[in-house]
Structure 1
Amino acid sequence: MPAPSRPPADSPLGLLMSTLPRAGRVEWIGLRPARGAAMREVDSVEAAVGAGLSGDRYKGGSGKRDVTLIQAEHLPAIAALAGHDALAPATLRRNLVVSGIPLVALKGRRFRIGEVVLEGTAPCDPCSRMEEALGPGGFNAMRGHGGLCARIVSGGTLRLGDAVEALAEDPA
């Protein structure tokens, strides 16, 4: 079944979908050096087209999952649903924690983080490791809150505090 198409950018629904309340901000950066290895928290990382994030296990992967992002505002919801008081960002194994912008609105469109241009490719669904990380029901606690996968369109350095801004869409 083909993916549903987006409404034309100049249609009423297209205009609503392209209007965001404000820019977001990078709150945390983490790298997964190897499968099952602990996340490594960093202040900045190089992002390269076709190569992913320097030091991340997905470096040089398919391009659809060069970078994984999760919404900071969802961390308390996931924690509550999993029966925890709070969660460290590394527990959820995403590369970037961002605040202030709805990640779901970036699926299928390009956005800029600092000097890097990304394109949202797919929801970042939870994996079975969330049962280990969060306890029984952890997988389901993350469903709908897993974040976004993105490919790198234009490389550069990602830094803590960088703005996260949707790029203007061309009318279809």
Structure 2
Amino acid sequence: MKLPPADSPLGQLMATLPQVGRVEWIGLRPQRGVQMDEVDAATAVTGAGLVGDRYKGGSGKRGVTLIQAEHLPVIAALAGREPMPASLFRRNLVVSGVPLVALKGRRFRVGEVLLEGTDPCDPCSLMEKAIGAGGYNAMRGHGGLCARIVEGGTLRVGDAVAVAVED
């Protein structure tokens, strides 16, 4: 996604984020169809993914998946369910306090790791089974963001999430 020029009115609006976010939860998917492993920290490998996650070594555009913490109760409500555990959504990071949609096409830091938002993380058909009837539709528009790892390092629960300052 090409961002508008930074000095344009739309560019200025899109660049304005009132606060820094926070990593609330980290999970790894060791293989397809198994429960996610909740961890306090994970190692991000440049151009690949997270060590211990089944997507490590893929195309790189989906090195890390993120979901908005504030959207989890919305998804539950839209599915007619009580609050659900973060692992059910099969995203690597649950992030609060910063709108993930604003990070698409931007570079941002999660602790020491530099990421670049690449694509929406649309739900797959497995969400229907995981959440229940209507789960796929409940997640539409709330699936989060895929990001590639530009500079690796360690991600930790509690890390800040903020737009990277360009040099």
- Normalised TM-score (structure 1): 0.95
Q: Match of 1:30?
A: 27
Report the alpha carbon displacement of residue 37 of structure 1 after superposing the two structures with TM. 1.0
Report the alpha carbon displacement of residue 20 of structure 1 after superposing the two structures with TM. 0.1
> Is 1:112 matched up with 2:109?
yes
* Cα separation, 1, equivalents of 2:77 and 2:98: 21
> Is 1:139 matched up with 2:133?
no
Report the alpha carbon displacement of residue 7 of structure 1 after superposing the two structures with TM. 1.3
Report the alpha carbon displacement of residue 169 of structure 1 after superposing the two structures with TM. 5.2
Q: Secondary structure at the match of 2:114?
A: strand
> Is 1:163 matched up with 2:153?
no
- Normalised TM-score (structure 2): 0.97
The residue type equivalent to 1:39 in the other structure is M
* Cα separation, 2, equivalents of 1:163 and 1:58: 24
The residue type equivalent to 1:35 in the other structure is R
Q: What are the ranges of 5 or more consecutive residues in structure 1 without an aligned counterpart?
A: none
* Cα separation, 2, equivalents of 1:133 and 1:59: 23
* Cα separation, 2, equivalents of 1:85 and 1:55: 30
Instruction: Check conservation: 1:109, 1:169, Cα contact below 8 A.
Output: no
Q: Match of 2:82?
A: 85
Report the alpha carbon displacement of residue 167 of structure 1 after superposing the two structures with TM. 1.4
Q: Note the 1:37-48 alignment, pairs <5 A.
A: 37-48=34-45
Q: Match of 2:47?
A: 50
1:114-168, CA deviations, whole angstroms, 9 ceiling, x for partnerless residues? 0000000000000000000111111000000000000000000000000000113
The residue type equivalent to 1:153 in the other structure is V
Q: Secondary structure at the match of 1:120?
A: strand
Q: Match of 1:68?
A: 65
Q: What are the ranges of 5 or more consecutive residues in structure 2 without an aligned counterpart?
A: none
- The percent identity for this pair of structures is 74
* Cα separation, 1, equivalents of 2:80 and 2:128: 12
Q: Match of 1:127?
A: 124
Instruction: Check conservation: 2:48, 2:59, Cα contact below 8 A.
Output: no
> Is 1:148 matched up with 2:154?
no
How many residue pairs were aligned? Answer: 167
Instruction: Check conservation: 2:48, 2:148, Cα contact below 8 A.
Output: no
1:16-37, CA deviations, whole angstroms, 9 ceiling, x for partnerless residues? 0001010000000000000111
* Cα separation, 2, equivalents of 1:102 and 1:93: 19
Runs of 4+ in structure 1 over 4 Å off: none
* Cα separation, 2, equivalents of 1:104 and 1:169: 19
Instruction: Check conservation: 1:66, 1:152, Cα contact below 8 A.
Output: yes
